Amino acid sequence: MTTSDTAAAEPAATESRAPAWRGGFGRLWTAAVVSKFGDSLRAAALPLLAASLTSDPVLVALVTACGYLPWLLFGLLGGAVADRVDQRRAMWTVDLARAALMAAFAAAVALGHASIALLIALAFALTTLQTLFDNAATALLPAVVPRAALGSANARLLTGQQIAGGFLAAPLVPVLLVAGAAAPYAVDAATYVLGAVLIASVRTGAPERAPRPAGATLRGDIAEGLRALWRDRVLRGLCVATTLCNIGMAALIATLVLHVTGWLDGGHGGYAAAVTAYGVGSVAGGVLAGRLSARTGRARAVLAAGTVQAGCLAVMGLVRSLWVTVAAMAVFGFMGLVWNSQQVTLMQERSPEAMLGRIGSAFRTLAIAGAPLGALLGGAAASAWGLNTPALLAAGLFAAAIASLAALIN
């Protein structure tokens, strides 16, 4: 193990420092939680809308696949731009644009003009905007929160988002749908507006940037970010493992509504219960992620999380019981939050501040690269071999990811 690898695997000594709620972090946290609430309403309602428009699993999965595609096309560009612009301004501008898109989509649904083609176009447009927003947010957080508090800040951000998204939003979808098919999307549009106002009010700016060399280009900036990611052995190995897991996750997410409502005969209520269980488990994972990483080190915490997640997926694919699936989703969510919070913190800790946008975008783009394929594989597997097979496919991919990561850490 190299010196840098050992540092990643050792217990984190800075986990006890918490970020201050006043000022920039409190507003960013609130904006992230509010936006996640609206996004989760849309994410839970959209598969139900897609399933009502077509019974073809491949078409349902195609909506999810097109939601990932912009990361392949624009993800690296979004990171390079995020390192050049005022990150706060980029974030609130993107939120206003997303609010306009969601308001128009809600009107189309209310008027009965929804179609699979429209759902695909919406997924593509929203994710295109997200490539800039997410990269800017990753780069801005270390300018708002001391580096020693990054682990706690990331865990709190993700935990708050899971409370709003998994615990509060998903159970409200059936209630909102009673008011009309467009209601979840109209609420999502409103949350984007509120998020934009909160982000615009943050007064802590991004760190000072050194003057750019003459002749610097976006292409050169992108290449520099890719090289920096490749040179860091820990981040490179984590990126490979995350890519494999994301292929499996996309296969599962794209067909989860069919798994629960079809294979398990759980109906819309069962689907809401499974999504809610995932959210509750994620909240618990956020509370305990710091303690786990303090005992094992960030990299080994990720390894343990992925191992348990692979087991949960295997149980979901083999045991035909709604309540077993709900329990497995809770544990899966717990370990998913541990994985995500430690992964983001590792990236922020090991990256130069001036390159956070580019390194973050390189990591995300490469990690998400297989997700469209995973969504399509999930739909194809469900059509060919049964609605439970995407979960088994995901379990195998998670196992492969953990094997590759274990070879790096041990």
Question: Residue 8 has what pLDDT?
Answer: 40
Residue range(s) defining the domain that contains residue 335:
12-205+218-409
Question: Residue 20 has what pLDDT?
Answer: 67
Q: What is the CB neighbour count within 10 angstroms for residue 115? A: 11
Task: Measure the CA–CA gap between 150 and 148, rounded to whole angstroms.
Answer: 6
366 in a structural domain: yes
Buried (b) or exposed (e) across 221-232, using 16+ Cβ within 10 A? bbebbbebbeeb
Residue found under tokens 């409200």:
172
The phi and psi torsions of 208 (rounded to 5 degrees) equal -60, 135
25 in a structural domain: yes
Q: Are 251 and 378 in contact (CB under 8 A)?
A: yes
10 Å CB burial of residue 287 (0-12, 13-18, 19+) is middle
343 in a structural domain: yes
Question: Residue 268 has what pLDDT?
Answer: 85
Question: Residue 10 has what pLDDT?
Answer: 40
Question: Residue 18 has what pLDDT?
Answer: 64
Summarize pLDDT for 28-57 with one digit per residue, the tens: 888 888 888 888 888 778 877 887 888 787
1 in a structural domain: no
- Output the CA–CA distances (angstroms, integers) from residue 31 to 26, 85, 129, 196, in the order listed: 9, 20, 16, 7
32 in a structural domain: yes
Torsion sign across C-alpha atoms 18, 21, 27, 31:
positive
| pLDDT cut 90: percent of the chain above it | 23
The domain tally of the chain equals: 1
Torsion sign across C-alpha atoms 147, 152, 155, 159:
negative
213 in a structural domain: no
Question: Residue 204 has what pLDDT?
Answer: 59
347 in a structural domain: yes
Instruction: Give the domain CATH number at 314.
Output: 1.20.1250.20
Q: For the whole model, what pTM was predicted?
A: 0.71
Q: What stretches in the chain show pLDDT beneath 50?
A: 1-16, 206
298 in a structural domain: yes
Q: Are 379 and 62 in contact (CB under 8 A)?
A: yes
